Structure 1
Amino acid sequence: MFYQSPGALHMHTFYSDGTGSVRDLALAAKECGLEWIWITDHDTMQGKPEEGIIEGVRTLVGYEITPHRNHFLVGDVDEIISRDLSPAEYVAEVARRGGVGIVAHPDERATNEVTEPYRWDDWAQRGFTGIELWNYMSDWVEQYTPVRKYFHFFFPSVALRGPTSDTLRWWDELQVEGARPTGVFGVDVHAKKVARMGREWEVFPYTHCFNRLVDYLQLEAPLSSTFKEAEQQIWDAIRRGRIIMANQGRGSAAGTTFLALSPGSAPATCGDEVARVQGLTLEFVCPRPAEIRLFQNGTLVARVSNGQKLRFDCHEPGHYRVEAWRRTLWIMTNHIHVI
């Protein structure tokens, strides 16, 4: 049995270019039903003394290394690593210190009046913990135009495209290669305020973003009420790929499971390695009807057109993950590794 813990990562306070305090973010997370958040201000951990359990929300403080390009989310470390290093150097330094390192918004492409692409340049780089497959604010800004900006502000889901095909291809190829980085969704929320039409608007509030892209940790025990224990549960789940990612704009994904079931063995979940044995079955269950797609090494191998369960008799080794669609992408799992 696995216990789910919903949370969010990649967010900014007023210690960098956000507008809220550490406590503000924790309270917004509580309002949205999240159990944990990972704060990643730009090149600073000024909020570190404030981390802990705030109104029931396990609030972790890391940071984002932000040179002009090649941004990198860092967690489970106590010191800032210089953004003046090369990407290869700071990726290696995070690993050397035993930290968690996530490649942020790797496939940004757009240049417009509010942004330029902060993409990851060297896709041959290795040694990181994970990849931010979908970044909420990055996706929204990528679709920004002077003509569409107000429409997309009031109807932001229309602007979203989801993870790029190149990012997913890279992620799947790294599984086959053996690197096996964890996939995560990130919100990248700043809650920036702008003056338009005689009043102030927030693009977008912390609660708005926390109600969109959510990472559900798959834990062997409920998330601890002791901060240090909870912190290690969170970092461990991220390192192991025990995460089911959700676009909650398409509905809550609470209760979603992706399991490997084999006779005489305990169930395994995403991020786990399982032996290919007779009777091995992969089972995905979600709380609402959806189009469910199962991929092996990035190739579609099974589909349910409109249902809440997919069962697949697994006879071949590979790296298996699931996508569930409700008009657009709703749920994405990390891989189960069948050897």
Structure 2
Amino acid sequence: MLYNYSGVVHIHTKYSDGSADLKGIARAAYKSGANFVLINDHDTLKGLYLEGECYMHGVLVLVGSEVTPRRNHFLCYDIETVPSRHLRPEEYVGEVYRQGGFGFLAHPDQKENPLFPGRMHWENWDLDMPFGVEIWNFFSQWMGSFKTVKGLLKSIFFPKALLKPPHPETLLRWDRLGSVRPVPAIAGVDAHGGRQFNWLPTIVSSYLHQFKTLRTHVLTREPLQGDLQKDRRMILSAIKKGRSYLVNHFAGKVKQFSFYLQHQHRCWHMGEEAQHCPGMVFKIELPEKAHVRIIKDGRLFSQSTTRFVRLPNPGPGVYRVEVYKGTFWPRPWIFSNHIYVRAS
């Protein structure tokens, strides 16, 4: 049995360019229904030093950082010091892993907005390190949803209508990397609470609103029990291994979603590798009936509108699931991490 916990990833506080301290973040997360949050202030761990990781308002607050040169931003966790943003990407990413930490390429295919010039995409994906990828980023999508003042106004008052699936190019790169090694993925909110654009109305800029957009749901083998160090290890381990799935809360909340590979009495879950053998079966269970797309090696493999899927005898490949909700206006809802079926 696995336990499901919903978290908000990629949050900025007053210690960089956000507008609240950790206590304010935790309060908003509690009101939004999140179980945990991951902080990523720019080039600092000040929140860790001044307030510390802890449970607040029943929410587990964990602190990482975001290395932020002009481009090639990197979300990192489980580190003691933040590498310099003046290093080359392979150097600061390497330093994170030398410290025993791990991380994710942040908003890797973010496009430039003509109203707010500047690109923060990743230029080099050929890093010889086990990095993960932030495949979905709410703030990046919001910034890319308009090119004119008229479009900006529309994006302010109708933000729910503008949240799209992860960028196709990001998904394709991620799928291709998965053919070589496991590559965990997260959904980031990139929440700032309005400090960067304090002229925006609450519908866009409040932490509470932002925390109701994209979630990263992790699966743990034991329940969280309020023990800071033990629970911290379980959440970070699940994030690091890709034992998680991503949810657009605009399309609907999710209490439970399962996607696993079974052979006799053994199961492999998201983020795990299995050696191919005859008789394997993929099983998918949704919270409710929706449109399910099974992606294999970056291409559509199977699709149906249902709540339960049973796919027998899959061949070797890199598999993941996309779920869309709604008939006339399909909304992206759930994106799984990969399950890797390797050739024997």
TM-score (norm 1): 0.94
- Quote the residue 1:233 is aligned against: 234
Return the alpha-carbon distance in structure 2 between the equivalents of residues 163 and 226 of structure 1.
34
SS at match of 1:19: coil
1:41 is matched by which residue type in structure 2? Answer: D
Q: Which runs of 5+ in 2 are unaligned?
A: none
- Out of 142, 146, 149, the residue aligned to residue 146 of structure 1 is 149
Aligned pair in 2 of structure 1 residues 182, 200: CA closer, same or farther (>3 Å)?
Answer: closer
1:73 is matched with which residue?
Answer: 75
Aligned position for 1:118: 120
Aligned-partner residue type, residue 45 of structure 1: L
Match in the other structure for 2:323: 324
2:133 pairs with one of 128, 131, 134: 131
Distance in 2, matches of 1:128 and 1:208, equals 33
State the SS of the aligned residue for 1:70.
coil
Deviation at 1:315, TM superposition (A): 3.4
Unaligned runs of 5+ in 1: none
Structure 1 residues 237-267: Cα deviation after superposition (integer angstroms, max 9, x where no partner): 11111011111110012211111111132x2
Superposition deviation, residue 204 in structure 1: 2.0
Q: Structure 1 residues 227, 264: closer, same or farther in 2, change over 3 A?
A: same
SS at match of 1:232: helix
CA RMSD of aligned residues (A): 1.6
Q: Following the alignment from structure 2 to structure 1, what is the Cα–Cα distance between the partners of residues 100 and 334?
A: 30
**What SS class does the counterpart of residue 252 from structure 1 fall into?**
coil
After TM superposition, give the deviation of residue 318 of structure 1 in Å.
Answer: 1.2
User: Where does 1:1-339 land on structure 2 (aligned, <5 Å)?
Assistant: 1-49=1-49, 50=51, 51-144=53-146, 145-178=148-181, 180-192=182-194, 194=197, 201=202, 203-265=204-266, 267-304=267-304, 306-326=305-325, 327-339=330-342
Look up the SS of the partner of 2:154 in the other structure. helix
Question: Shift of the alpha carbon at 1:95?
Answer: 1.0
CA contact (8 A) 1:321 1:334 kept: yes
Give the Å deviation of 1:212: 1.2
What CA distance in whole angstroms lies between the structure 1 residues aligned with 2:129 and 2:322? 26
Runs of at least 4 residues of structure 1 off by over 3 A? 193-196, 199-203
- The structural deviation recorded for 1:114 is 2.9
3-state SS of paired residue (2:139): helix
Q: d(CA) in 1 for partners of 2:7 and 2:138?
A: 14
TM value normalised by structure 2 = 0.93
| 1:233 counterpart letter in structure 2 | M
- AA paired with 2:317? G
Q: For the Cα contact (< 8 Å) 1:294–1:322, is it kept in 2?
A: yes
Give secondary structure in 1 for the equivalent of 2:150: coil
Q: Aligned letter for 1:294?
A: I
Q: d(CA) in 1 for partners of 2:37 and 2:215? A: 10
- Distance in 1 separating the partners of 2:198 and 2:57: 32
Q: Secondary structure at the match of 1:279?
A: coil
How far has the Cα of 1:287 moved from its partner? 0.7
Contact 2:157 2:203 in 1 (8 A): no
